[in-house]
A and B are shown apart, each in its own frame.
Chain A
Amino acid sequence: MSRQITLAVLALLILGGLFITLRPDASNAEPQDVSFDVSITGDTMEPNEFAAREGDTVKLRIRADREVELHLHGYDEEVSVTEDSPATLNFEADKTGNWPIEDHETVEQLGRLVVQPREGG
């Protein structure tokens, strides 16, 4: 019985130590402001992937060659862009995950916002 307890304790120590070693240091940088210039031509969005860390303030400046209504999943942000009036989306990236950005009318996915967790990401 004591052998098993020794094994268990040893395993816990090794696993704990390994976890601490492998895990990346929580990002010591302060939450940043990140902004992206986006242009939509037809069905493509350039760039179509935006990366941010949890807590960052994200600004997307969007231009389009047609009238399009964009929907950002998760944050439930909606913004209308037309040829003459580009739009800006401003929000705090407080929800981690892989968030699609879609054309609200056609339900086609145009791009995505990836928000990495601050700790261990």
Chain B
Amino acid sequence: MRPAHWLAVPGVLLLVAAFVARAEAHGFGQRYTLPVPLWLYLYGSAAVVILSFVLVGFFVGEDRGPGRYRRYDLLRVRWVQTLLTPPALLLALRVLGVGLFALVVLSGILGEQAPSLNFAPTFVWVIWWVGLGIFIALVGNLWALVNPWKTIFDWADALAARLPVGGLELHAPYPRWLGMWPALVLYFAFVWLEIVFAGAPRPSNIALFALLYSVITWTGMTYFGRDVWLRQGEAFSVFFGILARFAPTEVRVTDPRVCADCDTSCQSQSDGCVNCYECFEFADPAQRELNVRPWAVGLVRGEEIKGDRLAFVLFMLASVTVDGLLVTSAWLQLESLTSPVAQAVGGWGYTVLPTLGLLVVPVLFGVIYYVFAGLMRRASAWDERVHTVAAGFVYSLVPIALAYQIAHYYTLLLIQGQSVIPLLSDPFGWGWNIFGTASYTVNTALLGAAFVWYSQVALIVAGHVIAVYLAHVLALRLLRNPRRALRSQYPMLALMVLYTVSSLWILSQPIIEEESRAGLLLYLK
């Protein structure tokens, strides 16, 4: 069948969904936090600047570069090994992943469409997107284990292996120029749905997108091979994989020869390859490690970052900022200027400006970053292309975005996230009570406003401190000379202060709620 025919059906459904969505989207993801007060915003900014100078002071005159980070292999501890490695446990987690995925799709299609009565919106937007993301960054990459698309494909592949077909994967060679761009395109689409699309909280839309994404993912896995697609095209594996670099746990294969055989050209160094799940599955148990390590060190392993990955990370960082920007009054003023045009066009007109924002801001972000990378190069008389400098340091910005994401969303997770408790008992909104929790009412006053303010500012300041430290570590590793490394950091420091202070600024903006605003952002500030 011609591709155009395939696109028509979901396209029409999307259009219908968007218009019907508005009336029912209200009431989902309500936020009760107050904007950070001006004095605290100023204090946070001052603290960021002061601490930056302090850190520079720490680094001045430091001669020794950082060595390999300390790590401890949990698998050497008997009881941990017996607890974490039994195949039954791993299988149970995978089945849980698939089960939840199936529940999302089923409740999305069959259940009540009011978002607060249906399992799918709360589970996908709050528990999975926010909750799992934070878990992965702070604990470890659970997604690599429970990814339902991976699990279902594995099962289908194992089944096909028994039949004359002999397996699903075609292993067509993956074009090198294509790189990670498919993952970036899909991730862009996802972020667009999250912050621009009005119908994002609607259960049937969620189910529809999940199914569409499944088709794309399984097609990619079949054609190019499961692991190749997971690394280059599966947007969430790439996204969560980047977050997992911050995490205090890693999986590692200690024998570089195993890594050399890897389908996905995992970047192995002399101490093996880290977080390459393909190698981990393949390797001998004696060569496998499940390590505990300090937070954030996974971001500074000095791996080579090509243009496609650099673009992905930069978009990731910028989209976090756009998410916050779209609910500020400054943006609202911009929107009110263009709203006559939007109204004339009709329903979809309201998405034009935020979509432009989602396209323009990341490009602007990239340009500014490159400018500062150029300044870093000049400050340290570094004989490399600007692109190399930019790629080398981009991971050090991740803690700032991560801190903002957590600061911004943890209240949503703790408050709206509670509604998963009654929803598990009644996922379709039909009046069931499977686990007996259907009458649980969300405690909206769980967190006092002042506590939220202080914790948000503390998180952002902490993220900044970590980022400055990481950049310094990278500079020492790349430049080797401590004095040149330090000089290269002054522009980077300025960039980070700007980035962090703008995150604080967003948190201090009054929450905008207006009926004309489209999308989830209205309810997820």
Contact = CB atoms under 8 A, between A and B. Distances in A.
B209 to A, nearest CB: 24
Contacts of A29: none
A96 B30 contact: no
A107 B26 contact: yes
B32 A4 contact: no
Interface string A77-121: 000000000000000000111111000000111001011110111
Interface residues of A, number: 34
A18 B47 contact: yes
A14 B37 CA distance: 21
Contacts of A19: 43
Contacts of A3: 57
Given A22-B42, A107-B26, A117 B54 contact: no
B158 interface: no
Contacts of A15: 47, 50-51
Nearest to A109: B513
Given A7-B54, A22-B39, A96 B449 contact: yes
Given A18-B47, A19-B43, A107-B26, A96 B450 contact: yes
B39 A23 contact: yes
Q: Which of A3, A7, A112 has the most CB of B within 10 A?
A: A7
Interface string B45-81: 0110011001001100000000000000000000000
Contacts of A34: none
Contacts of B511: 98
A76 B32 CA distance: 13
A66 interface: no
B449 A4 contact: no
B57 A96 contact: no
A109 B514 CA distance: 9
Interface string B19-42: 000000011001111100101101
A18 B51 CA distance: 13
Interface string A1-41: 00110011011001100110011100000000000000000
A23 B453 CA distance: 13
B34 A74 contact: no
B58 A97 contact: no
A7 B57 contact: yes
A98 B34 contact: yes
B219 interface: no
Given A73-B444, A121-B37, A18 B31 contact: no
Contacts of A95: 444-445, 448
B46 A18 contact: yes
A2 B422 CA distance: 56
Nearest to B450: A117
A18 B39 CA distance: 10
A99 B43 CA distance: 26
A20 to B, nearest CB: 10
A24 B39 contact: yes
B310 to A, nearest CB: 34
Contacts of A4: 57-58
Nearest to B54: A11
B448 A96 contact: yes
Contacts of B449: 96-97, 115-117, 121
Interface of B: 26-27, 30-34, 37, 39-40, 42-43, 46-47, 50-51, 54, 57-58, 441, 444-445, 448-450, 453, 511, 513
Given A22-B39, A23-B40, A95-B448, 8 more contacts: A18-B43, A18-B46, A18-B50, A23-B43, A98-B511, A100-B513, A112-B513, A116-B449
7 shortest interchain CB distances as A-B pairs:
A96-B449, A117-B450, A95-B445, A97-B32, A11-B54, A22-B39, A7-B57
12 contacts: A3-B57, A7-B57, A15-B50, A19-B43, A22-B42, A23-B39, A75-B445, A98-B31, A115-B449, A117-B448, A120-B39, A121-B37
